[in-house]
Amino acid sequence: MDATLRFLRRNGAVLVLLVILAAVSTAAPGILRWRAINSLLQDNAPMLILIVGATLPILLGCLDLSIAAMASLAAVSAALLSPVLGSASVPVVVGGAAALGGLQGWLIGRLQVPSFVISLGALGIFKGVAMYLTGANMVGITPGIWIYDLLGSRSFGMSNSFLLVLIVAGLFAAMLKFTNLGRNIYAFGANEIAVYISGVRRDMVRSFAFATSAGCAALGGIMMISQTMFASATVAGSLLLPALVGVVVGGTAISGGVGGVLSSLIGGLIAILIRVGVTISGLPPESQDVAFGITILIAVALTTDRAKIGVVK
């Protein structure tokens, strides 16, 4: 019995995912078709990769509010650079984004300004720069660049964008579990000062976490334009809250030290399915937001492992 309980607690998010999947597929059996699942995953791949990236700063107990603005900036930059650089625009943009993210992380330590403020400021800066670069116009992607075509298409019957999400999430999960850096990230979230006194390079850990979240955000922006073929300065601007919701629904604690990339991925899938369920429920549009909000709250209540969280703030 104890073992069952422990299993339930550890895998709360997976169970919630299955329960919701069961509920949604009862109402609309078509959702279980491979094609439907694939299409949902492809649509939401940009959001999922943002969720994966956003997890690392949250594991530190930080918050990166600039991810959606970074995704837009990256989409715009990639679109502007693609005529010149072709496929190389993707590594250049992702690398540049990671560098900017790393700079954010480094500034948090250097200026000793909370991540909430730094990334809120960065949000404004990225948005402004994206506006300025485009003159508030849309930028189209030159067709025929293989990397965008690749991201927009499928292999093994599965969306390449979503496969990329899985690969990135897998890499990060392995990094968190098997490397010294991963150990340091969890410990940092649990007690920053003790970790500092243990000789861990605090600025480096923080820079890394923010570099990954910015790099993932840039990938998300690029995945998005591989679908839309157009970029604008606000193209991904609305992804911030869904991304944070996904992380939290997965059971990663805002206070840091608890959770993981795969949990967040599951959290993202839960949020997507709830949205699907609410939309096909036939509820009037005015009540859909209410239903979504309440269902998300219940899901979080179920997936949060309270045993590991001290004072709830």
Residue 139, phi then psi, degrees to nearest 5: -120, 125
**Residue among 165, 144, 194 nearest 261 (CA):** 165
- Angstrom CA distances, 215 to 70, 74, 144, stand at 9, 9, 24
Judged by beta carbon, residue 131 or residue 163, the one nearer other proteins is 131
Q: What is the rounded distance in angstroms from the CA atom of residue 234 to the CA atom of residue 191? A: 37
CA distance 215 to 93: 9
The least CB distance from residue 106 to other proteins, in Å, is 12
Nearer to other proteins among residue 84 and residue 116 (C-beta): 116
Identify the three-state secondary structure at position 305: coil
Could you report how far apart the first and last alpha carbons of the chain are, in Å? 31
CA dihedral 154→156→157→161, nearest 10 degrees, is -40
**Least distance (Å) from other proteins to the CB of residue 172?**
14
Q: Which amino acid is at 142?
A: T
Q: Strand, coil or helix: what is 137?
A: coil
Helix (H) or strand (E) holding 26: helix 12-27
* Buried/exposed 85-114: b ≥16 CB within 10 Å, e otherwise: eeeebbeebbebbbebbbbbbbbbeeeeee
